[in-house]
Amino acid sequence: MGNAEKLTNDLKSLESEVQQRLAKAVEEKDLENISIEFLGKKGKLTNVLKALGTVSSEERGQIGKFANELKNSLEQSIETSRQHILEQYYNKLAETEWFDATILPARFPAGFHGGDVKGHIHPISAMQKRLEDIFSSMGFSIMDGPQVETDQNNFGMLNFTDDHPAREMQDTFYTEQDHLLRTHTSSVQIRGMKKLKPPMRMIAPGRVFRYEELDASHEHTFYQMEGMVIDHTVSVSNLLHLMHTLLEEIFQKHVEVRLRPGYFPFVEPGFELDMKCLICGGKGCPVCKYSGWSEVLPCGLVHPNVIKSGGLNPSQWQGAAFGLGLNRLVMMWYGIEDIRYFQNPDPDFLYQF
Ligand SMILES: [Zn+2]
């Protein structure tokens, strides 16, 4: 057998060797190995072609051409195998991958709620629902407003003038021209006054956003519930009575409250309402930062400019407004010390409720 004939035979047996190996390949990794072993720089094909130097130049041309075609055809075969393997993989996946929405995740504690829980309501949603029930029973309408608000509804019509320093009190995420992520549910006050005919009572629960440094009591995303009462006469004692009744209704026990002056451009006078800490009963604990009191809500009598923005005559109508912090109420209710837990999807936190 001449050198040329031997070389050609070697190339042909290389081809059948590759085909046999491809027939056994089960995953992409196998194909990679075959490719390196046979077609790589130091692979078997290169090795066989080292013998090209031993054949005549005419034969060399023919064998070289044959070797090139062989290389192309082997590459093609490997690619075909790859397609085949992927197809099988996806077919198998379609047969075996399914999911049962009723199966509990592995981390559910054994016996948790009898083991048949399919999910449950987030403590903030539960608090919101509770408040909605209480307020509805007191004749309040439930209003909704967009989370992306106009600067006018969030600030301008609430008596924050363009250069008002109080704008600085609330670090704001601005979106597009004249729009922002609402910094408080007070943005719904104007919508409420325009939609509901006075005398009226409304609440507006929802998500609000601040561009805050995060710590145990500050979050960039949290939940409030705005409340507003418009009537011919509304006084601070009406407001205080309403808040006191509300808090006792929420916590189902005797609650002590106090008012401190607070400044908010949309109310005059404005207050911070504190509640005696329910965790420690006023003795001082981490939840109330050892003050014995917990800041529950800002409130006040609606500023005449805001009444005017709502399309009402301030000489005929008066109002009271308050902003309940839902996160804070839940923290008081359960004795949670860090507001950041609410945005953290850690199931170990959520399973406790
Ligand atoms: Zn306390």
Q: How many whole angstroms from 332 Cα to the centroid of ligand 1?
A: 9
Closest of 278, 308, 307 to residue 293, by C-alpha? 278
Give one DSSP letter per residue of 254-301, joined into a string: ---EEEEE---TTEEEEEEEEEE-TTTTTS--TTTTTSSEEEEEEEEE
Q: Cα angle vertex 292, ends 290, 293, to 5°? A: 115
For each of the chain's 353 residues, which pLDDT tens digit applies?
A: 688 888 899 999 999 999 999 999 988 899 999 999 999 988 999 888 888 888 888 888 888 899 999 999 999 999 999 999 988 888 888 777 766 666 655 555 545 554 455 567 888 898 999 999 999 999 999 999 999 999 899 998 999 888 777 677 668 888 878 899 999 999 999 999 999 989 999 999 999 998 877 777 778 888 999 999 999 999 999 999 999 999 899 888 899 999 999 988 999 999 999 999 888 889 988 778 899 998 888 999 999 999 999 999 999 999 999 999 888 888 888 878 778 888 776 767 777 77
Q: What is the pLDDT of residue 169?
A: 66
- What's the 298 CA to ligand 1 centre distance in angstroms? 19
Question: For residue 335, how far is its CA from the centre of ligand 1 (angstroms)?
Answer: 9
CA 290 / ligand 1 centre spacing (Å): 6
Residue partners of 83: CB distance under 8 A and separation at least 6: none
> What is the whole-number distance in angstroms between the Cα of residue 326 and the centre of ligand 1?
18
How high is the pLDDT of residue 237?
A: 93
- The pTM assigned to this predicted structure is 0.63
Residues β-bridged to residue 202: 141, 228
Annotation: CATH topology of 123-350: BirA Bifunctional Protein; domain 2 (3.30.930)
Give 162-213 as a DSSP string.
TT-GGGGGS---B-STTEEE-SSGGGHHHHHHHHSPSSEEEEEEEEEE----
Q: What angle do CA 190, 267, 195 make, to 5 degrees?
A: 15
| Cα of 112 from ligand 1 centre, angstroms | 30
Number of H helices, E strands in the chain: 11, 9
- Residue 291 Cα to ligand 1 midpoint, Å, equals 7
Distance 204 CA to ligand 1 centre (A): 28
User: In the block, which residue shows the tokens 């808040």?
Assistant: 243
Q: Which residues of 64-81 are buried (b: 16+ CB within 10 A; e: fewer)?
A: eeebeebbeebeebbeeb
3-state SS, residue 10: helix
Domain ranges of the chain: 3-96, 123-350
Instruction: State the residue for tokens 């839940």.
Output: 330
What is the predicted pLDDT for the residue at 88? 87
What residues have CB less than 8 Å from 247, skipping those under 6 apart?
255, 257, 275, 296
